[in-house]
Amino acid sequence: MFFVALGLALVIIALCYIISVGSNYNEKLSSYECGFNAYEDSRGIFDVKFYLVAILFLIFDLEALFFFPWSVCLGFITSDGFFCMIDFIFELLVGYYYAWEVGSLNW
């Protein structure tokens, strides 16, 4: 079974190299959302603000996902669940305030 899986994987990889067309055109070589050129020296200096804002967006977006189930079952939870969510909202606001004060949301 191992050799069949290995052989199939090698055949698929070989077919990808044989069938694919590797052409470079302006759209493919243009810079993407981060603003870096597609092919340049990897030791170059770059600004990490894009990555920092993207990570902060993911963190706060995932934390905001907890609001939907809480709001749906708000009538069924006890006071402990309610105050735990209030604590969560408070911690979320403290994190947002900290990110704002540090300046990680500024371009």
Q: What are phi and psi of 76, to 5 degrees?
A: -105, -10
Q: Do the Cβ atoms of 98 and 60 come closer than 8 Å?
A: no
Task: For residue 4, count other CB atoms closer than 10 A to its CB.
Answer: 8
pLDDT digits (tens), the chain, 107 positions? 999 999 999 999 999 888 887 766 676 666 666 666 656 666 666 667 777 778 888 888 888 888 888 888 888 888 888 898 899 889 888 988 988 888 877 76
The helix/strand/coil state of 32 is: coil
